[in-house]
Structure 1
Amino acid sequence: MDLENIQPYYFGDISCWSERTEVHKAASLGQASHLQHLIQCGASVNIVAVDSITPLHEACLRGQAQCARLLLDAGAQVTTSHGEAGNSDCVKLLIAEGACLEAYDLYYGTPLHVACANQHTRCVKELLNAGAKVNAARLHQTALHHAAKSAQVELIDTLVDFGANIYARDKHNKKPVDYATPDSPAAACLRSHEAIPMSLQQLCRLAVRQKLGTRALKVVVQLQLPKLIISYLCYQ
């Protein structure tokens, strides 16, 4: 790797490249007490390794939610949530800290794409309920295309419930159903969604959620609506 041609990431006043530090290792291994000791001794929580990985990335990639919380409380800065889309507890933490739901990577797409490609249904639900755009596309490929490839019916239903376009075509002019194995439950599920129009009730929910965007969960509970309707709007 030619380090001379690499531009470091900047976190506030902190700009640093290094190999994996003790903070990285503790975060990755879930060694919360050791991590807390390192932080109390003044270790940087925003130090960036040569592959652009921070301790927060390490904690979230490994599903170490307690370590992620310690890092965030110590000032770890949230940049994206691409690699963190595998653990729902970590996703919740990052969303609460203001992680960009539409952070876009040219190779991976959005966090929603990553979660769907890796079949992390719980993370997909967290991202969508927080307001992630269900039809965001990379090379015209949507999260539903990824779900169709994964053959996960629950994942497909979740995306459709949040308004995924079952007719979206990618750069190869293929719809999601074209990626499902013929005669599989996933293919049958997609064909069913194509054949049966959305109910007026579902269309209304999608319209309200789209209007409210990322504020939906905070605003909906403040509306003068019956609890049953609020639960429906919050996908509970």
Structure 2
Amino acid sequence: MEPGAADSCLLGYVGFWVERTPVHEAAQRGETRQLQQLIESGACVNQFTMDSITPLHVASLQGQAQCVQLLLAAGAQVDASNIDGSTPLCDACASGSIECVKLLLSYGAKVNPPLYTASPLHEACMNGSSECVRLLIDVGANLEAHDCHFGTPLHVACAREHLDCVKVLLNAGANVNAAKLHETALHHAAKVKNVDLIEMLVEFGGNIYARDNRGKKPSDYTGSSSAPAKCLEFYEKTPLSLAQLCRVSLRRATGVRGLEKISKLNIPPRLIDYLSYN
């Protein structure tokens, strides 16, 4: 890169606000040849717009993996934050692009960036990408990361009714009774009236008697004769079996990523399957 271009790029990174550049446009549209030519001609890959969006943010949000690769190889800042504090990894998770997520992680993207908003794991749960959720957890994502609007990733997955994501989170050891203003995942499940979700949360130890900041239980958010209401009423009248209580207690004792510990227990395979919710 020529000295003049390098100086321009530095200005772009430290505070030179611009409108969307040709690099942004090429990255968004997935025009890899155009992007490569721009990079080779000295275009800055770290200039950001008025809302602090870099070309890497744009490419990640659109799931343009080849453009993400080109930008990273050209020195794009992997953990650049936009005006909302989101990083390219957050955007890649929002797009559900597992390829972009893997690329960003391979270049050192922080799986738990210091955000006050939704984390990459929150974004993956919003999108409903269980593959992204699983990958983020494998590399150390904080299962209890708290967003002031959404609560934990489990709250998000339940509110959006992404059952696959919910099961991945719960199996990884997410706190089923984590509260946002005393509102639990079961409150969300009751509000969206999803019986399958309610049953899954209860089986993992969800507290059907938990009350939110309005003093309401999950059942208070269901219609009196609806299927979710009948489901919760059944659990209120029929306590969990001893086997289920033991499973919940053991899973709680094994903590985060407990499946790894359970698989190593010297017990019959059938019991391991039961403890693993298979």
TM over 0.5: yes
CA contact (8 A) 1:17 1:50 kept: no
Q: Which residue of 1 aligns with 2:86?
A: 53
1:64 maps to which residue? 97
* Aligned-partner residue type, residue 40 of structure 1: A
The structure, 1 or 2, with the larger RCO (C-alpha pairs under 8 Å, 6+ apart) is 1
Partner of 1:230: 272
CA distance in 1, matches of 2:277, 2:134: 16
Q: 2:162 aligns with which of 120, 123, 130?
A: 120
Report if the CA contact (8 A) 2:48-2:55 is conserved: no
What SS class does the counterpart of residue 103 from structure 2 fall into? helix
User: Which residue identity is paired with 1:95?
Assistant: I
What is the TM-score when the length of structure 1 is the normalising length? 0.90
CA drift at 1:88 = 0.9
Letter in 1 for 2:259: L
For residue 83 of structure 1, report the CA deviation from its aligned partner.
2.5
Q: Residue 133 in 1 paired to residue 175 in 2? A: yes
Q: Work out the CA distance in 2 between the residues paired with 1:27 and 1:186.
A: 38
Query: Aligned residue for 1:44?
Result: 77
Of the structure 1 ranges 180-189 and 136-145, higher mean CA displacement relative to structure 2 is found in: 180-189
Kindly provide the CA deviation profile for residues 203-223 of structure 1, in whole angstroms up to 9, marking residues without a partner as x: 110111011111411111111
Are residue 23 (structure 1) and residue 46 (structure 2) matched? no
The question of whether the paired residues in 2 share the 8 Å contact of 1:17 and 1:48 is answered with no
**For the pair shown, which has the larger CA radius of gyration, 1 or 2?**
2
Task: Name the counterpart of 2:242.
Answer: 200
Q: How does 1:179-218 map to 2 (within 5 A)?
A: 179-218=221-260
Unaligned runs of 5+ in 2: 1-46, 113-118
Q: 1:96 aligns with which of 128, 138, 147?
A: 138
1:172 paired to 2:214: yes
Q: Percent identity?
A: 50
Match of 2:193? Answer: 151
**How much has 1:182 moved relative to structure 2?**
2.5
User: How big is each residue's C-alpha offset from its partner over 1:41-66, in whole Å with a ceiling of 9 and x where there is no partner?
Assistant: 12111111111111101110121111
Aligned partners of 1:154 and 1:209: how far apart in 2?
21
| Aligned Cα root-mean-square deviation (Å) | 1.4
Q: Could you tell me whether the CA contact under 8 Å between 1:102 and 1:133 is conserved in 2?
A: yes
The amino acid that maps onto 1:159 is L
Q: 1:55 to 1:226 in 2, by over 3 A?
A: same
State the alpha-carbon separation in 2 of the partners of residues 188 and 169 from structure 1: 18
State the alpha-carbon separation in 2 of the partners of residues 132 and 17 from structure 1.
36
Normalising by structure 2, report the TM-score.
Answer: 0.77
Instruction: Select the residue among 50, 65, 68 that pairs with 1:32.
Output: 65
Shift of 1:17: 7.6
| CA displacement, residues 106-151 of structure 1 (integer Å, 9 cap, x when unaligned) | 2221111111111111111111110000001111111100000001
Equivalent position amino acid for 1:67 in 2: C
Alpha-carbon distance change, 89 to 215 in structure 1, aligned in 2, over 3 angstroms:
closer
Q: 2:202 aligns with which of 160, 164, 169?
A: 160
- 5+ unaligned residues in a row in structure 1: which ranges? 1-15
